[in-house]
Structure formats: structure tokens, C-alpha cells
Structure 1
Amino acid sequence: MVSLDMMDTIHYQSLIIEYLKTFERGRLADFDKMLANKLPQVLDDKQRKNKVRNLLQKMRRDGLVVSEGWSWSLPNS
């Protein structure tokens, strides 16, 4: 059974992947802005930024995105 938190994580990952398919590259600030209204409103700004950063790091470890300096992109793009 998939937890609700895992479903949210998958949803956020898919939004980031769609963004990168459209724009090829993105910065942490881009993803933070994109996900601001989608993340739980109980999170303050610092918690939201940490959530987005942790999500990107997990995606990098899973091979879904790569970081190049301050920007993120899909592998082989």
C-alpha cells in the first residue's frame, strides 16, 4: 500500500519532471515558486524550501534529475 506522503512526493516529482521537459533547466527558486501553492500550507517558507531541496536531492539520487551548478535538468538533456 502506498502512503499518502509517498503519493504527494510522486505528484511533486511529476510536476518537476514536466517543468524540465518544457523548460529543459530549472533552479531551486523556480521549483519553489512552482510548488508554493501545491505544498501543504502549514509549512513556513523555510520548511517549504527544505522540502523542495530534499525532493530534488532524492530525485538526483534516484537518477531522475541531474544538478549542474545551480540548475537542474533531466539526465541526457
Structure 2
Amino acid sequence: MAGELFVLGSILADSKIGWTAGRAMTDKPAKTYIVSIYEKPHWRTVLTTKDKAKAEAVLKQIGKTGQIEEIIPKVNR
């Protein structure tokens, strides 16, 4: 378990997640991808990003059974 946490920490340290300032109202809302792994008895969130390729790479590098959730924000009109 300690080795897994070290790998996970190095993955997150290598990723550069940038925050964007406010967007124009005409822009489509960006999808958010949440990478989670199952550790009995709970799911644990590993990474939250807007980059689908990064989410898939992190899940592959961890090598455990996990999932990627795709969250699409609702547009208020």
C-alpha cells in the first residue's frame, strides 16, 4: 500500500493542473473527468481533471481496477 501511495503521489506531482479564470457565457461548459479506484469498502478519488487523455493515462499507470466518471455541468439559461 505504501508503494502505491508513493506512485500515486509522484503521478499527481508530475501533472500540472491549471485553473482557468472565468469564461464567456457563450462557451460550452467543459467536461470534468474523475479517476477513482476501489479500496474496500470505499471508492477513492485519485484525480480530477478536464483532460480525458490525462485521466486515462493515470488510470493505466495505476494499474488497478478503477473507473473514470465524466461529469457534464448543466447550462443555466
Q: TM-score, normalised by structure 1?
A: 0.34
Q: TM-score, normalised by structure 2?
A: 0.34
**Structure with greater helix share of residues:** 1
Larger Rg: 2
**Structure with greater strand share of residues:** 2
